[in-house]
Structure 1
Amino acid sequence: MDMHFIRRGTGKPLLLVHGIGGSWRSWNTLIDALAAEREVVVVDLPGHGKTPKLVGENSIGTFADALTSFLGQHNLLGIDAVGSSMGARLVLELARRGGVLGAVVSLDPGGFWQGWEVPFFYHSVAVSVKLVRTLQPVMPALAGSAMGRTILLPQFSAKPWAVDSKQAIDEMHTFAHTPVFDELLDQLAHGEVQKPAPKGSISEPLVIGWGRQDRVCLPRQAELALAKFPDARLYWFDNCGHFPQWDQPAEAARLILAVTGKQEFSDASIAQKAASTDTAAFPKAAVIGAALALLIGGSWLLASRKR
């Protein structure tokens, strides 16, 4: 299967794979930094962006097959890869299969939830997407303001007010208009469980990065991810939610270039923490209050639409 994609930069190719409801534009915060050293190949997965959806089931398994076919078609088998969220689970699955990817960075992968975490993930994301769809008429204005982003994005970002406004507008649009979103969400929550990769089966560098404030894929799930992928190294992003490319883009770029460049590195050298680590434009109470306001307002809008 062919997929819509873009290529930027020169050098050794590097594949970027977005998450559920995203597109190649999900990587806008990192493309320039990565393309300064690598040829970046950024795809729209099936049913996302400008790529048509698959005939039949849309799941991690069928997406892995489609992406493998795409890489073979473009002579890119063995390419280094970075995935985010669902895309992070996807690159892990391809690493497990072997012979498809080179070095891999998996950022906050989905699929490692257990017990109560499954309905928490499914229903929290489902409610968020329903609200995003309902609010589409006012989304550009809402996502374009710092307060609006604080209301919209606390589930996905540790500092939602600081997320780039254009990035937020783009993401909220694709979240609402991805035709396979609901099917994929159900597959991620209730479909096939991620198979493990036995120790020693992955010879290329593999790093799983996780935001300490991730409210979609909870940080505690990193333990199961490492148990299933014992060849992986875990890297923690401080002051970071579900998308390191939103909350810590420079740090994420350093990690990606180091891992896929097969460089020796310490966590401290990647983090490069400054004396002041965050801009407290909005206190935590404001984030919580904004999230409650979104839930109440969204519920009212949904009820109004039904009436």
Structure 2
Amino acid sequence: MTVPPPATPARPAASIHHLRRGRGKPLLLIHGLGSSWQTWAPILPGLEAQREVIAIDLPGFGHTPPLPGDVTIATLADAVTDFLTREDLLGIDAVGTSMGARLVLELVRRGGVLGAVVSLDPGGFWQGWERSFFYNTVAASITLIRALQPAMPALTASPVTRSVLFAQFSSHPWALSPELTLTEMRSFAASPSTDELLRNLAYGEAQQGMPRGQLAHPLVIGWGRWDRVCVPAQAARAQALFPDARLHWFDHSGHFPHWDMPTQTLQLILNTTADSGNLEVKDRTKV
């Protein structure tokens, strides 16, 4: 008698740490590489005034333990889908930033997971030299951040050194709050999945799109004109892969519009997700 091979054990569902507060229609927030739910601090009060916010720490970041096995956009998308299923939140509106912005686009592409989506400066649309530029500059930043951890409270307290540390990520880093920047620096240094995910983002699976006419809910891709991580030329490639998306430019923002232009970002999110069941809603992305 032939003995069948042992079954491959299912990947255990991730236990995802999250903040849940506010009132209104639920809204999921997904942070970027090396970060945590606290990256949304500049716009959280405005969102919570009108929505029930669910801000998560992705596996391997913040207070959520890493995934077993590979850490990729695909495995993170699986983990987020499991979380939303367990919490009875499938179809929730969502916002992602940077790597999280790429992640929400992957969830949109899969269908049936999210409602209306705002994707802020997503990664994954680089070509040629941009790929190595992204990997090498971000990897160098992470190495520096880890080396400077003992001095980080003093460095983030000074507008001058904040400008040096965050020049790649913000159009006006001197104006960022010391509390926000210290939290980000601590998270980047401590997150166990940052290095593997950075490699996979740069050199792993290619971002896929979806054909015109298949989008079930509004999708806005936002981009900072001064983005030095995902250069603005990549916005046209993102829209080409998601032709039903609307492209919104943040004229005075770097890689993180919710830091550099929080009022405009807040309004864009609220407007885009105001009627997530109707793709024919008025285009309100110019705020």
Q: TM-score range, shorter-chain basis?
A: over 0.9
Matched, 1:184 2:202: no
1:61 corresponds, among 74, 78, 96, to: 74
CA distance in 2, matches of 1:144, 1:216: 24
Residue number in structure 2 paired with 1:70:
83
**Matched residues in 2 for 1:196 and 1:57: separation?**
22
2:267 to 237, 254, 257: 254
**Mapped partners of 1:91, 1:266: distance in 2:** 20
- Unpaired segments ≥5 residues, structure 2: 1-13, 276-280
- Equivalence for 1:206: 219
Whole-Å separation in 2 of the counterparts to 1:11 and 1:217: 33
Which of 7, 30, 48 is the equivalent residue of 1:35?
48
Percent identity over the alignment is 58
Q: Deviations over 1:123-162 (max 9, x none)?
A: 0000011001111110111011111111111100000001
1:138 is aligned to: 151
For residue 264 of structure 1, report the CA deviation from its aligned partner. Answer: 2.8
Conserved 8 A contact 1:244-1:252: yes
Counterpart-to-counterpart distance in 2, 1:266 and 1:62: 33
- Contact conserved, 1:103 with 1:260, CA < 8 A, in 2? yes
TM norm structure 1: 0.86
Residues in 1 aligned to 2:109 and 2:283: alpha-carbon distance in whole angstroms: 24
**How big is the shift at 1:2?**
2.2
* 220-229 vs 255-264, greater mean Cα deviation: 255-264
Structure 1: unaligned runs, 5 residues or longer: 271-307
Does residue 91 (structure 1) correspond to residue 104 (structure 2)? The answer is: yes
Aligned partner of 1:16 in structure 2 is 29
The CA RMSD measured in Å over matched residues stands at: 0.9
Task: Kindly state the Cα deviation for residue 267 of structure 1 after the two structures are TM-superposed.
Answer: 4.5
1:264-275 alignment to 2 at 5 Å? 264-268=282-286, 270=287
Report Cα offsets for 1:51-75 as digits up to 9, x if no partner. Answer: 0000000010000000000000000
The answer for the alignment partner of 2:6 in structure 1 is none
Contact in 1 for aligned 2:271/2:284 (Cα 8 Å)? no
Given the superposition, is the C-alpha separation of residues 265 and 229 from structure 1 closer, same or farther in structure 2, using an over 3 Å criterion?
A: closer
Which has the larger share of helix?
1
One-letter amino acid of the counterpart of residue 28, structure 1: A
Q: How big is the shift at 1:238?
A: 1.0
Q: Distance in 1 between matches of 2:264 and 2:96?
A: 15
Partner SS for 1:139 = helix
1:28-61 CA distance string (max 9 Å, x none):
1111100100000000000001100000000100
Q: Contact 2:272 / 2:284 at 8 angstroms: preserved in 1?
A: no
- Following TM superposition, where does structure 1 have runs of at least 4 consecutive aligned residues deviating by more than 2 angstroms? 262-268
- 1 CA distance for matches of 2:245 and 2:44? 24
User: Which amino acid in 1 is paired with 2:51?
Assistant: R
Which has the larger displacement, 143-152 or 122-131? 143-152
Deviations 1:228-247 (A, max 9, x none): 00010000001100000110
- Is residue 173 of structure 2 the alignment partner of residue 169 of structure 1? no
